[in-house]
Structure 1
């Protein structure tokens, strides 16, 4: 039997297919279920089962509609750790305050970013949470004791942040979008200003954050004080769309007055000035 014939035959053997699938995901970094089904000549359901097993084995990270390689996450995680070291104390304070808003048994949405990642790591005292996120680092950061279910939104993956960019939705087996909502959306933003509201640097991320906000009963914006009185490329929403702004220091008079006018509760550490 030639190597080509052996390779073709192995594709139809579960163990051999999964090994090849794992190698392909590692090489590609990010894949979709449909692309894998076409490449390996099997059904979408078969690919999903293989990916679920490989995810359970720790070979890759399962996402809605596909998978991401562990090596990609490792590279990005190092970069994220570097970003976490910027304004580190401020982010930890904000994360702790945000965690205090999360109620046991609730459903929360968390977007990409290092402040929200710090929040995920601090939810160890919580129980029975349902978490939906576009941040691929959040599932591994969440304490297992805190979580009932974790869902990751699908779409393209930004290599800089390892967060997906796509619709805030999931589909039923019949193909129709399911109506989803959450009790609290925890949204990290790039800038906050009286006139511009909440902004970020990436247009697709802004659209995704807008949709998370629209599906939440309550909204908490997370932003350290270095982001005050700045405007980035894409507006996420106006100030009044949030119920809370969680930060490490009091903003200046203009922003503080605008937040008050928008009925946004300002949450800061005790003694913040």
Structure 2
């Protein structure tokens, strides 16, 4: 009985990698275990194939798998689409981020659906001052929690419903006022050991940088699907944050890089008493 050509190729390294690349391109996002089962090879073999394909620029390696280039280029989705993605993970992150907020403090919140979830989880807080470029945040904040809300001006990105402009306010005479906050809650599009925190839009990256610079403490919010990826514009290096709040522990290389930069990782499994101060992972 003859063996199907595709079946023979599957067990040849070059043929397997070509089929693997095609499968990722068609599927969009895959896991290592899914690929190992589909192609009948070990997980280590799949990891080596993915690493090589990533180095060749064929796909983007992620924590536990890979995504196609077309999926990466579609990361800047409309806010109504992003509201339905990773909902459970975002909610877990939001609860942890809200626990960092202290009553009577001033916080800055950037655009994004994860930070929007944080705003909805501030109902137990009181006397907060919130400054944001996220047009959805003012309506999501529990009225009992808020003393003042400020919205940064500038152009509006209808795709994300966030403003783009300077992180500043001016007095009636035109002079720029010096502002700062106790805590900046910054949602990012990707986190990687070598690239730091990145996002897809240059102007939004500039706003995030300025929020970070004006904050006494900084918490980066990113679910685990964003690990090991790099987007167009760097927000900052890893060490600019005090905390990375996520839904699961990062892979070893990212975990080690965060520890080296004194960034505390907060996940749902972390003990509450570990969340109060900055420390290594």
TM-score (norm 2): 0.68
Looking at structure 1, the residues matched to 181 and 136 of structure 2 have their Cα atoms a distance apart, in angstroms, of 20
Looking at structure 2, the residues matched to 263 and 108 of structure 1 have their Cα atoms a distance apart, in angstroms, of 22
Looking at structure 1, the residues matched to 225 and 147 of structure 2 have their Cα atoms a distance apart, in angstroms, of 35
Q: Secondary structure at the residue paired with 2:239? A: helix
Q: Find runs of 4+ consecutive structure 1 residues off by over 6 angstroms.
A: none
Equivalent residue, structure 2, for 1:236? 235
Equivalent residue, structure 2, for 1:109? 108
**Aligned positions of 1:190-205 closer than 5 A:** 190-205=189-204
Give the deviation of 1:182 after TM superposition: 0.1
**Structure 2 segments unaligned to the other structure (5+ residues):** 1-77, 272-281
* Deviations 1:153-191, CA, capped at 9 Å, x for gaps: 000000011100000000001101000000000000000
Correspondence 1:265 to 2:249:
no
**Aligned positions of 1:152-231 closer than 5 A:** 152-231=151-230
Looking at structure 1, the residues matched to 129 and 270 of structure 2 have their Cα atoms a distance apart, in angstroms, of 33
**Aligned positions of 1:6-155 closer than 5 A:** 80-155=79-154
Q: How much is the aligned-residue C-alpha RMSD, in angstroms?
A: 1.2
**Structure 1 segments unaligned to the other structure (5+ residues):** 1-78
Q: Secondary structure at the residue paired with 2:100? A: coil
Looking at structure 1, the residues matched to 264 and 218 of structure 2 have their Cα atoms a distance apart, in angstroms, of 11
Looking at structure 2, the residues matched to 149 and 132 of structure 1 have their Cα atoms a distance apart, in angstroms, of 8
Looking at structure 1, the residues matched to 211 and 184 of structure 2 have their Cα atoms a distance apart, in angstroms, of 7
- Aligned residue pairs total 194
TM-score (norm 1): 0.70
